[in-house]
Amino acid sequence: MDFKDLTREDRKAALVRMGEKSFREKQTFRWICSGAESFSEMTDLSASLRERLAQSYSFERAKVELSQHSKDGTVKFLLSFPDGVKAEAVFMEYEYGNSLCISTQAGCNMGCVFCASGIGGKIRDLRAWEMLDEYICCSKAAGKPINHIVLMGMGEPLDNYGEVSEFLRQIHSPDGLNLSYRNITLSTCGLVPKFERLEEDFPQVNLAVSLHASSQKKREKIMPVAKVYPLDVLIPACRRHAERTGRRVTFEYTLIKGENDTPEDAEELAALLRGLNCHVNLIPLNTVTESGFSSSSRAQAYAFAEKLAEKGIQCTVRRQLGADIDAACGQLRKKHT
């Protein structure tokens, strides 16, 4: 078993069983967070403890298999884990700092028709340490600090809640990377029953909901999850979330040519979200060859945004970062498996 694969609690218990003081866990956690590659680097532990740990546990890191650098500063990484499973992470530069888009599963079971991650379904959930390694590995490879993370890579984070929550606690811990919950955004296709846990466990983590359509009929056509959690369940849950946490909910809306991008769609969306403390992020579709869908024009996107704004809904059209490097969800992995 890999030493990093234990929860912090279990790591502490294991060290105590080895006759060590419990504060040793903090020391090992610091080494994990600083990117140490082996027990032998952990020089504030006794030589004997390092040796015993190496006898009992493996200690392997994720590896960068491939990186693609875009002209706009975006870097897409393809990472591999010790069992050979691959996942993607994307480094982006913004005015407010550097951000990393993290994968929470290899593959995905949600089956959104426009998304490359879902092709082939879910391979497996990622473990908490693997998500932490995405961060550590990519900030090392990028050579720059990362102060924001978005769980918007491959996978559905709320379909892997146990590992995702352990990861969030670890990356937030002042014993290690000390990332503020307010600088973390979790994006979901709308697994409503998990919203309550999220509100209780991580009220400061930002919630982003992939909406992509303003009517039940249109949403069902592109997102199978809409049949399980329809809009008349999802939107009230988002309202509750905003009220309970006092935080603004982000809605992601991918503009697909001829599917969801008319001024009437915008009006319907504005009516759906009226009175909800929210922000709409309009995302021109990154074309995935298999899906048969194409992106709305930039002009169509701005017209849609204008309509929303006119109806009092805050929105932005997302810059299309990394379009020259297969930066959309799951595109890079698909080419290399």
- Which residues are annotated as catalytic? 88, 329
Contacts with 202 (C-beta within 8 Å, 6 or more apart), sequence order: 165, 168, 181, 184, 186
Least distance to ligand SAH, CB of residue 52, Å: 40
Check if the beta carbon of residue 189 is closer than 8 Å to that of residue 112.
yes
Question: Does 188 participate in binding ligand SAH (rule CB under 6 A)?
Answer: yes
- CB neighbours (10 Å) of residue 201? 12
Residues 276-335 that bind ligand SAH (CB under 6 A): 283, 285-286, 288, 328-329
Closest CA to 132 of 180, 108, 100: 100
Stretch 40-59: interaction string toward ligand SAH, x if CB under 6 A: --------------------
Q: DSSP H helical segments within the chain, as ranges?
A: 8-17, 24-33, 47-56, 128-142, 161-172, 195-201, 216-222, 225-228, 231-245, 263-273, 298-310, 331-335
Tell whether residue 115 is a contact of ligand SAH (CB under 6 A): yes
Of 15 and 152, the one with the shorter C-beta distance to ligand SAH is: 152
Near ligand SAH by CB under 6 A, which window of 37-45, 140-148, 181-189, 193-201?
181-189
Q: Which amino acid is at 2?
A: D
| Contact letters for ligand SAH, residues 251-270 (x by CB under 6 A) | -x-x----------------
Q: Are 65 and 78 contacting, i.e. CB atoms less than 8 angstroms apart? A: yes
Tokens found for residue 90: 């994307």
The Cα 195–Cα 238 span in angstroms is 8
Q: Does 70 bind ligand SAH (CB under 6 A)?
A: no
Nearer Cβ to ligand SAH (3/251): 251
Contact stretch for ligand SAH (CB under 6 A) within 43-51, 112-120, 170-178, 268-276? 112-120
User: Which residues in 233-260 are b (16+ Cβ under 10 Å) and which e?
Assistant: ebbebbbebbeebebebbbbbbbbeebb
Number of residues in contact with ligand SAH under rule CB under 6 A: 18
15 or 207: CB nearest ligand SAH: 207
Q: Which two tokens stand for residue 158?
A: 């709320």
Mapping DSSP to helix (H, G, I), strand (E, B) and coil, where does residue 124 land?
Answer: strand
Does position 206 bind ligand SAH by CB under 6 A? Answer: no
Return the number of the residue (243 or 290) whose C-beta is nearest ligand SAH.
Answer: 290
Nearer to ligand SAH, 70 or 254 (CB): 254
Which of 53, 126, 128, 152 binds ligand SAH (CB under 6 A)? It is 152
Binding test (CB under 6 A) with ligand SAH, winner from 88, 156, 163, 166: 156
Contact residues for ligand SAH, defined by CB under 6 A: 110, 112, 114-115, 152, 156, 187-189, 210, 252, 254, 283, 285-286, 288, 328-329
